[in-house]
Amino acid sequence: MKSPAQRLALAAAALLFSLAAHADPEVYPTPGTPAPATSFVAAASGQLKAFYTGQAGGLTNLLGARINGVDGAIGLSNHGSAYGDSFVLGTVAAGDSLVFFIDIDGSGVRFYSDPALNSDGVNHAWASTYAGDALVPAGTHVAFEDLEGGGDLNYRDHSFVFQISAVPEPASWALLLAGAAVLARRRPRR
């Protein structure tokens, strides 16, 4: 058994660790000026996942990805998500073209990271490199501007980090399941 003092020390250490473990991605350095547009290509094959990193402007937006020209599922609301929440945007193959978008307030308007797809022709997304923390993996951070015409161009209305993680092959699944079965059998009975 741990003493109350030991418990307190452990709790304090855990709190300090959790504070240090949360590192917000950088914010757009030159608000008011359009950011350079970025085009994205899948660097690997697997599940394309977005991790919410914050920023909630006045509008409620959902996030999605256009993979090889086809818009995928939308989710990860900027008003209903907590830092680190994740959402699967789709499955990709290495070399696929990726364009991220936000779906504005259920209006049917979408602003894409490719300005050529936007009704206002403005670039709505700024990308930067993110080192990762305990809740969000290292990867590319993408921050959106959600106002028609660019508005304040601060790119602080919806942001996330994306990651592509390998989906286990059927053979690996079989191995994993076999391993789990062995462990289950080894478990002593009460």
Note the residues at the interface with Ca ion (CB under 5 A). Answer: 145, 152, 154, 157
Smallest distance, Å, CB 150 to Ca ion? 8
Measured from the CB of residue 151, what is the shortest distance to Ca ion in angstroms? 5
CA angle 37, 40, 44 (to 5 degrees): 165
Q: CB–CB of 152/32 below 8 Å?
A: yes
Residue 123 vs 154, nearer CB to Ca ion: 154
- Nearer residue to Ca ion within complex by CB, 133 or 157: 157
The nearer residue to Ca ion, 96 or 145, going by C-beta atoms, is: 145
CA dist 156 and 148 (Å) reads 14
| Pairing state between β 97-104 and 110-112 | antiparallel
Pick 32 or 188: Cβ nearer Ca ion: 32
Q: Cβ of residue 57: shortest distance to Ca ion, in angstroms?
A: 5
Shortest distance (Å) from residue 75 CB to Ca ion: 21
Burial, 102: exposed, middle or buried (Cβ in 10 Å; 0-12, 13-18, 19+)? Answer: buried
Give the SS3 label for residue 45: coil
